[in-house]
Amino acid sequence: MGKCSLTVTEKEKVICLPIYRDHCMMGLRGCYKEDLMGNFKVMSYNGCRMGKGTLESPVPFSDQKYKTLRNTHLKQKSLFCDPVFGDVTTSIGSFPAQSRIEWKRPRDLCPNPHFFARDVTAPEDIIAGQLSTPWFVAAITVLAGIGEILYKVVPGRAKQEWDPEGDDNYAGIFHFRFWRFGKWIDVVIDDKLPVLDTRLLTAHSVWSSEFWISLLEKAYVKLHGSYDALAGGHLANALVDFTGGVSEIMDLKSEDYRSLERQSLLFSVLATEMNHSSILCASVVATNDTLRGLRTDIGLYIGHAYCVTSVKRIHLGESSIQAMFRGHEKISMVRLRGPGEPSGKVARDEAKSSETENVYTTSKLTRLMSKNPHWSKIQDSERYRLGLNCDTEGEFWMPMEDFVANFTELVICRTPNTNIFAMGKTWREASVQGEWTTGVKGSKSDRAGGSVDFPDTFFRNPQFLFDIKEPDEIMIQMLQWDTGDRQPGLPSHLITFYVIKVEENRKYRLKKQWDFTPTVICFNPIRKRELYYNGRLPQGRYIIMPTTHKPGENGAFYIRIFTSSNINLRSVNKDRPKAGFFGYRYPVWVTVVYIKGAENLKQFNRTGTCDAFCKIDCEGNSGRTVVLGNSLNPTWNASFVFYRKKMDSPIRIRVFHHKVCLSNNFAGQVLLPAPLNQQPTPLELPLMDKKVDDPSPTQGKLIVVVYTTDNFMLV
């Protein structure tokens, strides 16, 4: 482990720990600060010094601070040589001609290098090198076309430019920013690049004097350890790291999009995401490397990303083309920006692509080979009249039916708006970081239970509680950490997560599932870096449980949840209540009451209905259901758990009619002795009045399920 350079004061000491097992901490190797009370605060992880982690105050990777290093080398009139990611074989990984590789600075490759040779780099001017991975090159082409994102990843673009008048401001050092598991990381690199036979092995520009592409790739590689380590990744990974967003991968071949209904649904998704400024990229996935770079029948490059830049549903009206589309008043169209053809005076054989020469451009071929034969007959003047214009040379339009027929994958990278003062829909973000660890059974370090396929250990996984206060849309992102112990190109584990609806007042870890604690979200375990879910959840309390597929697999994870309200996401570490001081009685029973609903309640509204809800009380602890309006037969499906010390004290459930301004109307109550029964028992109980000594039945009955056990590991 590297030396910890933190300052030690009289009130605190800094220590280095191999692993700090706390599910709210980073959970990886790092340095931690301990105060006099014995509390720990993480100071660094994986070589990254802890900071705010925002774009304005990113965390310096490996504690390398760009401004400090640059100023030091400028004063010394020396060039920066990166001690963390140097010109050594381990930085490359496996490569056949490893011994012949030379590391050269841009000044050694051209007389007048530039960070950016032009104000805008066209996506078609980006070429992969022999060390490049196609998915990351595709990500760079996407980045080049979105200035707002480019400026986040490439900070201080003008200040990093070479000084045309001399080397007074040149120190051979550059920096880039990437979002990694909740924080923005600032990565410093030197400008030495791998070269073989005078040719760059990295991604580069067709303009021989432009180097931001090669340097950006090197910084991203440094974050992962080697060029080899990027093998097997995915475009979605880089888009998340460029934006701090969440990504979803849609397999256009797994769903049947041949029907007009499915196409219309997908078009609505595209239109909505465009309005929310999401990044959308379509591609034809290469099933093997020999196909990558070839063109399909309609001219699409296999393995390249095509950005969706606009969608439009055009109205044909009384135009001259209406006869071509009989039965259609509107046509759904998608505009894409592709990699295009390399520009400039660079030879075509410099591109790492096996494409053949084509007489027609992609735009022309997409019209000639369209599933709709009339698309090719529309004149350019008519297309422009319908609003089908293109902003750049690399853009083209295609009908929705062609889009779903020719692309195999769609990546949607969303950047949820968390600014509460912004216009439009805003989100609240909650996040947790944790790890799967192995340890003594039943201890806090025993947190690697595997998936639901292993029921004996499943509930040993990390658990996190959150509350949905009213029915709400929810987005969940789960990422697994790159821990460095994996094969190059493969995420560490098959991963998944489960969202389980639990009792409304649960505070302790879930140890077993019954019908009253159903799983509402789950995935089959998959070997990916990121999992994504978007949907709606009803009101209630939930546990989210991230897991690997098999028990005993160590690793770390990061979870973000986006909703419209605060969900109070928190870790659950305790299995049961603690014993009290001075002989205070310890709970001996645990009872779960599942309030399913009520029937034939008393009428309170003028409309002959009741706005009913329940209050439940047990030994000073209480809970309540939601209010269900305008019903004499409400269904709550709400459960509550109580740890009981007094076996002879019954549980009381009261039913009320809700009133906004005045006191609630009492509708009846039941008293549950809830003795040991060891199995959930359904009951239908008549509602009684308020009398204590001799209660009388009132109108209606309550339908509940009661379960009481003395084994706390069964709830």
CB under 8 Å, gap of 24 or more: what pairs does 689-696 form? 690/666, 695/669
pLDDT in tens, 67-119: 999 999 999 999 999 999 999 888 998 888 888 899 999 999 998 899 998 88
What tokens does 314 get? 């055009």
Q: Which helix (H) or strand (E) holds 699?
A: strand 697-709
What range does the domain containing 499 cover? Answer: 428-572
Contacts for 416 with CB less than 8 Å, ≥ 6 apart? 245, 246, 427, 429, 475, 562
565: pLDDT confidence band, cut at 50, 70 and 90?
very high
Q: Is residue 10 part of a domain?
A: no
Lowest mean pLDDT among 209-213, 298-302, 307-311, 505-509: 298-302
% of residues, the chain, pLDDT over 70: 84
User: Do 69 and 156 fall into the same domain?
Assistant: yes
387: pLDDT confidence band, cut at 50, 70 and 90?
confident
| Pairing assessment for the beta strands 612-618 and 621-624 based on DSSP bridges | antiparallel
Spatial distance between the Cα atoms of 231 and 226, rounded to a whole number of angstroms? 10
Contacts for 387 with CB less than 8 Å, ≥ 6 apart? 312, 314
User: Do 99 and 136 fall into the same domain?
Assistant: yes
Tell me which residue of 431, 429, 427, 503 sits closest to 464, measured CA to CA: 431
User: Do 381 and 286 fall into the same domain?
Assistant: yes
330: pLDDT confidence band, cut at 50, 70 and 90?
confident
% of residues, the chain, pLDDT over 90: 55
Hey, which of 10-24, 63-77, 91-105, 421-435 has the most confident mean pLDDT? 63-77
Domain boundary among 243, 264, 281: 243
User: Do 231 and 250 fall into the same domain?
Assistant: no
Tell me which residue of 3, 4, 46, 32 sits closest to 556, measured CA to CA: 46
pLDDT for 455 equals: 94
Q: How far is C-alpha 608 from the geometric centre of its chain's CA atoms?
A: 48
Domain boundary among 243, 267, 285: 243
Q: Is residue 36 part of a domain?
A: no
pLDDT in tens, 122-164: 777 888 899 998 889 999 999 988 888 999 999 988 889 887 7
Sheet holding 199-200, edge to edge: 102-104, 193-196, 199-200
Q: Is residue 21 part of a domain?
A: no
User: Do 605 and 634 fall into the same domain?
Assistant: yes
Tokens 């979002």 identify what position? 179
Spatial distance between the Cα atoms of 321 and 374, rounded to a whole number of angstroms? 9
The pair phi, psi for residue 342, each rounded to 5°, is -55, 135
What tokens does 96 get? 């056949």
Question: How deeply is 57 buried, as exposed, middle or buried, from its count of CB atoms within 10 A (0-12, 13-18, 19+)?
Answer: exposed
Domain count across the chain: 4
User: Do 236 and 289 fall into the same domain?
Assistant: no
The model carries a pTM of 0.84
User: Do 283 and 161 fall into the same domain?
Assistant: no
Q: Is residue 421 part of a domain?
A: no
pLDDT for 111 equals: 87
User: Do 482 and 611 fall into the same domain?
Assistant: no
pLDDT in tens, 510-561: 999 999 999 999 999 998 899 999 999 999 999 999 999 999 999 999 999 9
User: Do 319 and 306 fall into the same domain?
Assistant: yes
CATH classification of the domain holding 263: 3.90.70.10
Q: Is residue 276 part of a domain?
A: yes
User: Do 557 and 615 fall into the same domain?
Assistant: no
| Whether the predicted pLDDT of 345 surpasses 60 | no
Residue type, position 17, single letter: L
Q: Is residue 30 part of a domain?
A: no
Helix, strand or coil for residue 460? helix
User: Do 624 and 491 fall into the same domain?
Assistant: no
pLDDT in tens, 581-604: 655 678 899 999 999 999 999 998
pLDDT in tens, 197-225: 889 999 999 999 999 999 999 999 999 98
CATH classification of the domain holding 656: 2.60.40.150
Q: Is residue 335 part of a domain?
A: yes
CATH classification of the domain holding 553: 2.60.120.380
User: Do 63 and 86 fall into the same domain?
Assistant: yes
Q: Is residue 583 part of a domain?
A: no
632: left (phi over 0), alpha (psi -120 to 50) or beta: alpha
